[in-house]
Amino acid sequence: MDGTGPKRVLNVGGNNKETALPPEYRGWTQILLDIDARGQPDIVCDAREMLRLPACEFDAVYCSHNLEHYYRHDASKVLRGFLHVLKGDGFAHIRVPDLQQLMQFVVQNNIDIDDPIYRSAAGPITAHDVIYGYNVEIERSGNDFYAHKAGFTPKSLPALLTRCGFPYVFSRSANLEIVATAFRNPPTEFARNLLGLPAG
């Protein structure tokens, strides 16, 4: 990925295109993939079935707070699907709740599982919501695919990415969230600059 030519990012589980992607993707073409047709995705697809899509089509896969909606063995299928659709120099950009940080926060602040821990644009978020999925959305939609079925820590997410074929993984944790970027091959200078990754 040398920074020349149009770039395409596959937004997996993004629900709709009204939610802006991070600024790194300004000027990129967004292709939205989601299992729920209500958000009018470009590709209606269960992310576990991405091996059925054409290979090597995208410069990046962006997946924000979606991977935790799959059981661990299915999350591996999703990640292998990411690898399948990415170009050789592409990358996966993944955000998930940090359960280790959440557990520390709950214990240190003596918080009950149903106590709000922060307020989002959708309303108050409880510890229960972070662990099991946003209860309001699950109840309102009637779709249990909004439930959380797996959890990740700063150690377990990079380990899973490596097992699924991404040997180059960079991750950080803050504000109850893990952000990881993963590559099949060493990241290019363009990717390092774009994502603020360390040199070398």
Note the pLDDT tens digit of each residue in 30-84: 999 999 888 899 999 999 999 999 999 999 999 999 999 999 999 999 999 999 9
pLDDT at 143: 80
Domain 8-98+147-195 - what CATH class?
alpha beta
CB 182 within 8 A of CB 90: no
Could you give the percent of the chain with pLDDT greater than 90? 82
Q: Classify residue 35 by its DSSP letter.
A: S
In the chain, what are the domain boundaries?
A: 8-98+147-195
Give pTM, 2 decimals.
Answer: 0.93
Other residues' Cβ atoms within 10 Å of the Cβ of residue 35: 20
Question: For 134-160, what is each residue's pLDDT tens digit?
Answer: 998 888 888 888 899 999 999 999 999
Give dist(CA 191, CA 76) in Å, integer.
Answer: 24
Q: What are the φ and ψ backbone dihedral angles of 117, each rounded to 5 degrees?
A: -110, -20
pLDDT at residue 190 is higher than 80: yes
Is 200's pLDDT higher than 80? no
H-type helices in 41-169, by residue range?
A: 72-85, 99-108, 127-132, 135-141, 156-163
Residue 179 has pLDDT above 90, yes or no: yes
- Reduced DSSP (H G I as helix, E B as strand, rest coil) percent helix, strand, coil of the chain, to 5: 35, 30, 35
User: How do residues 19-30 score in pLDDT, each as one tens digit?
Assistant: 899 999 999 999
pLDDT-based confidence at residue 11 (cuts at 50, 70, 90): very high
